[in-house]
């Protein structure tokens, strides 16, 4: 796989006015989402729900790619059409979550390291054959009184970079995601400082592992005050802090940065992205890779009438995609 092909895929993932829908919840995570609205977590419900999302009419107008989970990339619509085929027909690039989740980092209380490198080359080879053209790995960084430690940041950056190098070897664009959690009572300055250290460490590690940034996408969290800080940051403040932090730590050759929503409200996530793009031009395309902020309204509607509300739920998915697509251009108007 040439770097040109990887770069083409990366650029397509952040095509103007388009972003990614994250539907890569592990079976344990989707169980939590289903439980919150009273849906039994079984394979058929997971399949039906992912079918609802992926067959949303005209989704490809605003969605360039979707991140799937191992079970999902192998599933089909009720009529037997592979999800990857449905996606290809709508111009949506299949992506795959390949990390195996977090484990406690030995010796560092309260800190996590993401696992999944063993056997990754063979898994990526299979996912490519199944149609995936990009892959995601999520590291989790907790802000606390004494965290994150340098060791935790380094261990996670190293794993992210090893993952990225393996992806490029196998022809998949790596989406590297160092998520700094919103949980905690820290202020926005602390969030800024942690993001800066984490991102600098990540790009150092990517350089050390010979990862080609032209064929890489960063999935980033935004610089926001901790959920329990009692602080409310204005949209402009979040946009300015996040942008300044990214400019100080992310090389301009990277084609795009997509954001996770991380527990922000649906419209809040849209407003933040929109504001960052209004502050442009920026060195990289800034778009979205939202999970909850794309899906939560649809999931609620679907839970009220599984068979009867598919169309209504799809309308909300389309509306969220459109709002975020406009925000990726800095053209979103609240309520539009």
Interacting residue ranges for ligand 13P, rule: CB under 6 A: 22, 24, 138, 177, 260-262, 290-293
Cα(334)–Cα(254) distance, rounded to whole angstroms? 29
Residue 141 C-beta: closest distance to ligand 13P, Å = 13
Residue 307 C-beta: closest distance to ligand 13P, Å = 26
Between 81 and 235, CB nearer to ligand 13P: 235
Residue 243 C-beta: closest distance to ligand 13P, Å = 19
Look at the block and give the residue holding tokens 């068979």. Answer: 307
Instruction: Please report which residue ranges of the chain form alpha helices under DSSP H.
Output: 3-13, 27-36, 43-54, 70-73, 83-89, 120-129, 150-169, 188-208, 235-249, 266-278, 292-304, 310-327
219 is catalytic: yes
Between 174 and 291, CB nearer to ligand 13P: 291
Residue 224 C-beta: closest distance to ligand 13P, Å = 12
Catalytic position from the list 18, 97, 136, 219? 219
Between 32 and 78, CB nearer to ligand 13P: 32
Residue nearest to ligand 13P (CB): 291
Cα–chain center distance at 102 = 16
Angle among Cα 19, 313, 84 to the nearest 5 degrees reads 50
18 is catalytic: no
- Contact by Cβ (8 Å): 99, 114: yes
Between 7 and 258, CB nearer to ligand 13P: 258
Cα(144)–Cα(214) distance, rounded to whole angstroms? 34
Between 97 and 123, CB nearer to ligand 13P: 97
Structure tokens at 199: 């991102």
Tell me: cis bond preceding 148? Omega within 30 of 0 counts: yes
Between 78 and 163, CB nearer to ligand 13P: 163
Give DSSP secondary structure letters for 96-118: EE----EEE-TTSTT-EEE---T
Residue 258 C-beta: closest distance to ligand 13P, Å = 9
Catalytic position from the list 25, 51, 111, 177? 177
317 by Cβ neighbours in 10 Å (0-12 / 13-18 / 19+) ranks as buried
- Which active-site residues does the annotation give? 177, 219
């Amino acid at each position: 796989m040439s770097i040109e092909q990887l770069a083409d895929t990366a650029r397509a993932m952040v095509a103007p006015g388009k972003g990614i829908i994250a539907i890569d919840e592990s079976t344990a995570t989707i169980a939590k989402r289903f439980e919150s609205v009273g849906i039994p977590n079984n394979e058929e419900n997971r399949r039906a729900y992912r079918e609802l999302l992926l067959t949303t009419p005209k989704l490809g107008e605003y969605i360039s790619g979707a991140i799937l989970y191992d079970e999902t990339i192998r599933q089909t619509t009720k009529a037997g059409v592979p999800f990857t085929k449905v996606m290809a027909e709508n111009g949506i690039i299949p992506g795959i979550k390949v990390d195996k989740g977090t484990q406690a980092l030995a010796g560092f209380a309260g800190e996590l390291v993401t696992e999944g490198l063993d056997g990754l080359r063979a898994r990526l080879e299979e996912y490519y054959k199944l149609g995936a053209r990009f892959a995601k790995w999520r590291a989790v960084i907790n802000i606390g009184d004494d965290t994150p430690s340098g060791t935790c940041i380094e261990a996670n950056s190293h794993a992210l970079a090893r993952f990225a190098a393996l992806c490029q070897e196998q022809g998949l664009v790596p989406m590297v995601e160092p998520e700094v959690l919103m949980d905690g009572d820290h202020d926005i300055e602390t969030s800024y400082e942690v993001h800066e250290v984490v991102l600098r460490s990540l790009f150092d590690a990517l350089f050390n592992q010979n990862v080609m940034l032209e064929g890489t996408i960063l999935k980033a969290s935004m610089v926001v005050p901790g959920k329990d800080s009692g602080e409310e940051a204005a949209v402009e403040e979040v946009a300015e802090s996040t942008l300044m932090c990214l400019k100080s730590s992310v090389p301009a050759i990277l084609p795009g940065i997509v954001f996770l929503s991380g527990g922000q409200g649906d419209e809040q996530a849209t407003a933040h992205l929109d504001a960052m793009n209004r502050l442009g031009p920026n060195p990289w395309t800034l778009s979205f890779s939202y999970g909850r902020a794309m899906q939560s309204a649809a999931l609620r509607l679907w839970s009220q009438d599984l068979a009867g509300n598919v169309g209504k739920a799809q309308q909300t998915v389309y509306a969220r995609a459109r709002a975020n697509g406009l925000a990726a251009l800095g053209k979103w108007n609240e309520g539009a």
